[in-house]
Amino acid sequence: MTDKYSGRSRVVRIIFIVVGVLFAGRLAMLQLFDSKYKKLADQQALRDVTQYPSRGFIYDRNGKLLVHNEAVYDLMVIPRMVKDLDTDYFCRCVGMTREDFDERIQKARKYSTYSASPFMKQISKEEYARFENKMYRFKGFYISQRTLRIYDRPIAAQVLGYVGEVDNADLKRDAYYKRGDYIGKSGLEKSYEDVLRGVKGTKKMHVDVHSRTIGSYQGGRYDTLPVEGANLYTTLDADLQQYAEELMANKRGCVVALEPATGEVLAMVSAPCYDPNLLVGRVRGENYGKLNSDKAKPLLNRALMGQYPPGSIFKVAQSMVALDLGVIGPGAGFVCDKSLVGCHNHPSATSVREAIKMSCNPYFYQVYKRVIQQGKHKSIYKDSQYGLTVWHDYMLRFGFGQRLAIDLPRNGVMSGNIPDTGYYNRWYGKERWAFSTIYSNSIGQGEVTVVPIQMANLAAIVANRGYYITPHVVKGYGPDTLQREGVGERHETGIRKEYFDIAADGMYDVVHVAGGTARRARVEGLDVCGKTGTAENFGNDHSVFICFAPKNNPRIAMAVYVENAQGGGGTWAAPIAGLIVERYLNGEVKRKAEETYYREVEPCQKLPLSRRVKKRK
């Protein structure tokens, strides 16, 4: 006889089996496939603490420390774990207002209620010591250690750069960074960020229900160690950099000093200068605002971003182009005809060497005319287009009209302007301009602009008698002193060496022979070769000087630019350059009176500038 309850029991068993399968399936899904709940469980008991690596140090060419690190602390918060907090007591301990607390906690909640984010950044050791033993009372808060950049000398701020918190663009560009991380924002800190930053590590920590750390999870089995960043070994001479900055105090302008044989940057000064330590720590934002609003623009690296008329230093390049084209010879002479273009009083030059020494404007008017109007076409307009195209190509070989590939952030390097036929066709119309329209280029005015590092590079080209090495600021990085690709690349102008010998002779005469325009750059016992320039602009003229020394086997090439300093290149830029050369090559300056004078003098026209200078005819 069939049990009348057997059917019911099967139904009950089936129901239990179905429910069991559903529970097992759901549990498997939660534990094996849905990571959201796993993360939530982990966050109840585990905390991933980022181990920030030590950022690489930066040294000068002689092994002197320029940048190192100091330990600081970030107060982190996990908003959902903040419970039973005596807010007023917390604010007194950490030194903030209630309004500031509310703003920061709201910002943290907006970011994530489950994940940690910085609540208070860059707390010093002294500040942390004041509330370290009270941290157990602040549930949801914990300390994360990191390092802060410290600059050993108040020099080279625009070259070294600074470190700041990542922004949204940084986070999108590189998944390595998380909110609250720091990244190089300018200078070497930015261009060598991937080398300096190192690799972050992670430490998994057990925490209790009060968010207090119990210990390392599974004895550190899942921890990863940070890898410290590589050190940078720069080409800068810290003593020379400091000396040049002292000489440029109370001035606007820049100094760029190179080693001609290697392209290494010995010093790069942009004045006014500032202490790089101003952009470190929690005061960085306030100080940045002050520097950014300063009318003298201390944050601007004039050596790389200033685009100026080169003035008469451009005549050296004009000479080399004309000689190489054969439109003049070394003994070419031209009358100093002031009806063509204004000039100072001096005898007419009877050679290229004399013309460089005297810096004769009408002479280089005639030289440029022969370059632009070579008689290749009957039409003066077509002939000028042909000549300008040839001239433009030569100027590019000198590194003008393009960004020099220096190992600093590309967006912080300008190209200057060497106008081509397209430029004038757009401005005046095709075949509606000729030499008579553009003759101001002949003396480094008109539409020509250059960047100071290009000026120093021109001095290096003459020093090397026809070539330059790509300027760079880093010798190498890491224990094997690795170099970036392209560093040390050689660029030939293609102009014969003997023509550069003429330029060197003329530049020697500028400094050492009667009638030269840079007698104040003389240094006893040294063969300094230089060229002065006076660049017209808005306000008083700029004072310009390039030089190299010694004449044979030169060890330094330099450009000095002093803005709105009435008196010309021989009055301000040349004597400053002479002092820097003396300091570098002789190790000391014996001309103490001159040194004191140029360190203290304030020759630059006050801002804002009040007049516009008319171009000379």
- Identify whether residues 130 and 266 lie together within a single domain: no
H or E stretch covering 19 = helix 6-28
Share of the chain above pLDDT 70, in %: 91
DSSP single-letter state for residue 407: S
Whether residue 66 is contained in a domain is answered as: yes
DSSP single-letter state for residue 31: I
- Identify whether residues 360 and 495 lie together within a single domain: yes
Query: Where is average pLDDT lowest: 168-172, 186-190, 599-603, 609-613?
Result: 609-613
- Identify whether residues 250 and 176 lie together within a single domain: no
Partners of 75 in beta bridges: 120, 143
- Identify whether residues 179 and 250 lie together within a single domain: no
Q: Which domain does 312 fall in, by range? A: 238-276+301-600
The C-alpha angle with vertex 422 and arms to 421 and 428, in degrees rounded to 5, equals: 85
Most confident of 20-29, 303-312, 605-614: 303-312
Strands 232-234 and 58-59 turn out to be: parallel
- Identify whether residues 523 and 380 lie together within a single domain: yes
Strands 474-477 and 529-535 turn out to be: unpaired
Q: What is the CATH number of the domain that holds 194?
A: 3.90.1310.10
Amino acid residing at 597: Y
Query: Where is average pLDDT lowest: 26-30, 118-122, 289-293, 366-370?
Result: 26-30
Q: What is the number of other CB atoms lying within 10 angstroms of the CB of residue 87? A: 12
In angstroms, rounded to a whole number, what is the distance separating the alpha carbons of residues 426 and 430? 7
In angstroms, rounded to a whole number, what is the distance separating the alpha carbons of residues 40 and 60? 49
- Identify whether residues 154 and 242 lie together within a single domain: no
Helix (H, G, I), strand (E, B) or coil at 604: strand
Whether residue 36 is contained in a domain is answered as: no
Looking at the 3D structure of the chain, how many domains does it have?
A: 2
Nearest Cα neighbor of 525 from 550, 503, 556, 548 is 550
Number of H helices, E strands in the chain: 22, 18
pLDDT category at 1 given cuts 50, 70, 90 is very low
Task: Please determine, for residue 364, whether its predicted confidence score (pLDDT) is greater than 60.
Answer: yes
- Identify whether residues 58 and 190 lie together within a single domain: yes
- Identify whether residues 186 and 243 lie together within a single domain: no
Q: What is the CATH number of the domain that holds 574?
A: 3.40.710.10
Query: Where is average pLDDT lowest: 345-359, 401-415, 555-569, 601-615?
Result: 601-615
167 vs 3, more confident: 167
| pLDDT number for residue 233 | 97
pLDDT category at 257 given cuts 50, 70, 90 is very high
Looking at every residue in the chain, the average pLDDT score rounds to 90
Exposure string over 456-495, b if 16+ CB within 10 A, otherwise e: bbbbbbbbbbbbbbbbbbbbbbeeeeeeeeebeeebebeb
Q: Assign 3-class secondary structure to 261-307.
A: CCCEEEEEEEECCCCHHHHCHHHHHHHHHHHHHCCCCCCCCHHHHCC
In angstroms, rounded to a whole number, what is the distance separating the alpha carbons of residues 71 and 605? 44
- Identify whether residues 246 and 181 lie together within a single domain: no
| pLDDT number for residue 84 | 87
Check if the beta carbon of residue 384 is closer than 8 Å to that of residue 372.
yes
Whether residue 282 is contained in a domain is answered as: no
Whether residue 89 is contained in a domain is answered as: yes
Whether residue 396 is contained in a domain is answered as: yes
**pTM (2 d.p.):** 0.86
Nearest Cα neighbor of 122 from 285, 232, 351, 255 is 285
| pLDDT number for residue 208 | 64
Whether residue 31 is contained in a domain is answered as: no
- Identify whether residues 195 and 247 lie together within a single domain: no
Boundary (domain end) residue, out of 214, 230, 246: 230
pLDDT category at 83 given cuts 50, 70, 90 is confident
Boundary (domain end) residue, out of 230, 263, 288: 230
**Stretch 113-128: mean pLDDT:** 85
281 vs 101, more confident: 101
Tokens of 163: 């470190």
For residue range 528-540, what is the model confidence (pLDDT) as tens digits? 999 999 988 888 9
- Identify whether residues 400 and 543 lie together within a single domain: yes
For residue range 202-232, what is the model confidence (pLDDT) as tens digits? 888 777 655 556 667 776 677 788 899 999 9
| pLDDT number for residue 6 | 63
516 vs 12, more confident: 516
Task: Please determine, for residue 488, whether its predicted confidence score (pLDDT) is greater than 80.
Answer: yes
Check if the beta carbon of residue 176 is closer than 8 Å to that of residue 199.
no
Whether residue 614 is contained in a domain is answered as: no
| HSE-CB of 311 using CA atoms within 13 angstroms | 27
- Identify whether residues 151 and 131 lie together within a single domain: yes
Whether residue 270 is contained in a domain is answered as: yes
**In the block, residue with structure tokens 């950490």:** 94
**Stretch 308-335: mean pLDDT:** 96
**Stretch 542-549: mean pLDDT:** 97
**In the block, residue with structure tokens 């000689």:** 323
DSSP single-letter state for residue 314: H
Check if the beta carbon of residue 293 is closer than 8 Å to that of residue 263.
no
Nearest Cα neighbor of 580 from 563, 593, 598 is 598
Task: Please determine, for residue 501, whether its predicted confidence score (pLDDT) is greater than 90.
Answer: yes
Task: Please determine, for residue 499, whether its predicted confidence score (pLDDT) is greater than 90.
Answer: yes
Q: Distance between alpha carbon 208 and the CA centroid of its chain, in Å? A: 47
